Amino acid sequence: MNESQNQNTQPLLKMKIFNNWDVVAEGWYIACLSREVPVGKVKSLTLCGQRIVIFRGQDGKLRALDAYCPHLGTDLGIGRVDGNFIRCFFHHWAFDGDGKCQDIPCQSALPEKAKLQSYATDEKYNFIWIYPDTKAPHNVPEFDELKGKSIVAKHDKAFERSCHHHICMMNGIDAQHLQTVHKLNIKMNLSLQQNTSGTIIDFTLSGEFPQSTPRERLGRKILGDYYEYTMRYADGCIGLLTIMKNVRLLPPLHMIYAYTLIEPGRTRIQPIYVAKKRKGLLGALVTHVLLLLTQLAYYFLRGEDGMIYDNIRYNPNALISIDEPLIQYMNYVNKLKPSVWTKKVL
Q: For residue 45, what pLDDT is reported?
A: 98
Q: Residue 308: enclosing H or E segment and its boundaries?
A: helix 280-309
Q: In whole angstroms, give the CA distance from residue 37 to residue 55.
A: 7
Query: Quick one: which of 17, 57, 259, 55 has its CA closest to 158?
Result: 259
Q: For residue 186, what pLDDT is reported?
A: 62
For 273-282, how does the pLDDT look when each residue is reduced to its tens digit (9 = 90+)? 999 999 999 9
Q: In whole angstroms, give the CA distance from residue 204 to residue 340.
A: 32
Residue 346 has pLDDT above 50, yes or no: no
Query: Quick one: which of 89, 90, 81 has its CA closest to 62?
Result: 81
Q: For residue 192, what pLDDT is reported?
A: 76
Q: For residue 195, what pLDDT is reported?
A: 80
Mean pLDDT, residues 311-328 taken together: 88
Average model confidence (pLDDT) across the chain: 90
Q: For residue 178, what pLDDT is reported?
A: 75
Q: In whole angstroms, give the CA distance from residue 124 to residue 76.
A: 25
Q: For residue 292, what pLDDT is reported?
A: 95
**Domains along the chain with CATH numbers:** 29-131 (2.102.10.10), 144-333 (3.90.380.10)
Q: In whole angstroms, give the CA distance from residue 50 to residue 250.
A: 42
Q: For residue 191, what pLDDT is reported?
A: 75
Q: For residue 217, what pLDDT is reported?
A: 76
Mean pLDDT, residues 187-204 taken together: 80
Q: Which residues of the chain form beta strands (DSSP E)?
A: 29-33, 42-47, 50-56, 62-66, 80-82, 85-87, 94-95, 101-103, 118-124, 127-131, 151-155, 159-161, 189-194, 200-208, 226-234, 238-243, 253-263, 266-276
What burial class does residue 311 get, using C-beta atoms within 10 Å of its C-beta: 0-12 exposed, 13-18 middle, 19+ buried? Answer: exposed
| Structural contact between residues 323 and 331, judged by C-beta atoms closer than 8 angstroms | no
pTM (2 decimals)? 0.92
Mapping DSSP to helix (H, G, I), strand (E, B) and coil, where does residue 273 land? strand
Q: For residue 300, what pLDDT is reported?
A: 76
In DSSP notation, 5-34 reads TTTTTS-----SSTT-TT--BSS-EEEEEG
Mapping DSSP to helix (H, G, I), strand (E, B) and coil, where does residue 309 land? helix
Residue type, 241: L
Mean pLDDT, residues 226-242 taken together: 91
For 84-114, how does the pLDDT look when each residue is reduced to its tens digit (9 = 90+)? 999 999 999 999 999 999 999 999 999 999 9
Q: For residue 131, what pLDDT is reported?
A: 98
Indicate the pLDDT class of residue 345, thresholds 50, 70 and 90. low
Q: Which residues are bridge partners to 56 per DSSP? A: 62
Residue 1 has pLDDT above 50, yes or no: yes
Q: For residue 323, what pLDDT is reported?
A: 87
Query: Quick one: which of 312, 298, 311, 308 has its CA closest to 157?
Result: 298
Q: In whole angstroms, give the CA distance from residue 296 to residue 102.
A: 51
